[in-house]
């Protein structure tokens, strides 16, 4: 299937993990793909001429503006935006009562502000053209809370509120906006999680396994497809049944 032939897809944090799997999925299905990441993203063989990798810090406002302009100059207006960038404080995560505002600011900037900023750059063009798809990366942590990650859960819940508000604004203009909430997905980020924590996660997941980035890529591609035209403002959990909406 070449569902995305001729479409320009822009993905933040698209060189690793879920972002990379999603970039490959869109490329496989015929899209022109712009990957914005700290690191270069190697093009799949068959995506020759349809793949642009731009290395930048997506939380840097000027760098992001420049990258979006370069991507649109190369492949035309963005049809599909996947706001994938986000992360917890990771090694600096702590109980909230012991937490540090500097870490909250980092987590909020990378997980929420970057989503608003990229959308602010790209959504007006979608609105003018009367079509577009925005998929925002939230997390199961927003739905369930996450011990030691109050800042991350807050930012990812912020992504859900933003998704709903922007969906209302853009629905009359043929643009859908949805959020995805993955549970445990095996990426580089997981290598930093202690084995006992991962085992506990699996035990709390009715499906009984940790999913692959490709599982999330399939969901993002569906939400970005023409078939999903009546789905907007939604929060779609992909978590093996760990939380049920
Ligand atoms: N892996 C999971 O279990 C899981 C679960 C729920 C939500 N998420 C969310 O999914 C998204 C992707 O997570 P992942 O696990 O695939 O991550 P990952 O660590 O595997 O990859 C993250 C990518 O982000 C890039 N990156 C980091 N900081 C950047 C910056 N400032 N500018 C540009 N690029 C930057 C990295 O270079 C890397 O390519 C995040 O928003 C995360 O919060 C992940």
Q: Is the pLDDT of residue 104 over 80?
A: yes
Ligand 1 proximal residues by C-beta, below 6 Å = 13, 15-19, 37-39, 57-59, 84-87, 110, 137, 139-140, 182, 184-185, 187-189
Q: Is the pLDDT of residue 1 over 70?
A: no
Of 190, 112, 211, 212, nearest in space to 157 by CA: 112
Calculate how far, in angstroms, residue 172's C-alpha sits from the geometric centre of ligand 1: 31
Domains of the chain by range and CATH? 8-238 (3.40.50.720)
Calculate how far, in angstroms, residue 212's C-alpha sits from the geometric centre of ligand 1: 14
Task: Give the residue whose CA is nearest to atom 37 of ligand 1.
Answer: 38
pLDDT digits (tens, 9 = 90+) for 152-203: 999 999 999 999 999 999 999 999 999 999 999 999 888 888 899 899 989 9
103 phi, psi to nearest 5 deg: -70, -40
CA distances from 37 to 8, 21, 121, 178, 208 (A): 17, 14, 17, 22, 32
pTM score: 0.98
């Amino acid at each position: 299937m070449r569902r995305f032939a001729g479409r320009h897809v822009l993905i933040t944090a698209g060189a690793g993990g879920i972002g990379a799997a999603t970039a490959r999925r869109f490329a496989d299905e015929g899209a022109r793909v712009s990957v914005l990441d700290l690191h270069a993203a190697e093009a799949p063989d068959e995506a020759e001429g349809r793949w642009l990798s731009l290395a930048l810090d997506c939380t840097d406002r000027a760098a992001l503006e420049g990258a979006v302009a370069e991507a649109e100059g190369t492949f035309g207006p963005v049809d599909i935006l996947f706001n994938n960038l986000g992360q917890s404080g990771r090694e600096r995560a702590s109980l909230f009562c012991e937490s540090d505002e500097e870490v909250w600011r980092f987590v909020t900037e990378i997980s929420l502000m970057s989503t608003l900023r990229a959308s602010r750059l790209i959504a007006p063009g979608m609105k003018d053209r009367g079509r577009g798809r925005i998929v925002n990366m939230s997390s199961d942590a927003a739905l369930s809370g996450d011990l030691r990650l109050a800042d991350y859960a807050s930012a990812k819940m912020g992504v859900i509120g933003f998704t709903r508000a922007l969906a209302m604004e853009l629905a009359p203009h043929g643009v859908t906006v949805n959020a995805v909430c993955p549970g445990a997905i095996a990426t580089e980020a997981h290598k930093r999680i202690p084995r006992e924590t991962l085992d506990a996660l699996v035990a709390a997941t009715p499906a009984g396994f940790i999913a692959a980035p490709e599982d999330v890529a399939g969901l993002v591609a569906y939400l970005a497809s023409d078939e999903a035209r009546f789905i907007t403002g939604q929060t779609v959990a992909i978590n093996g049944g760990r939380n049920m909406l």
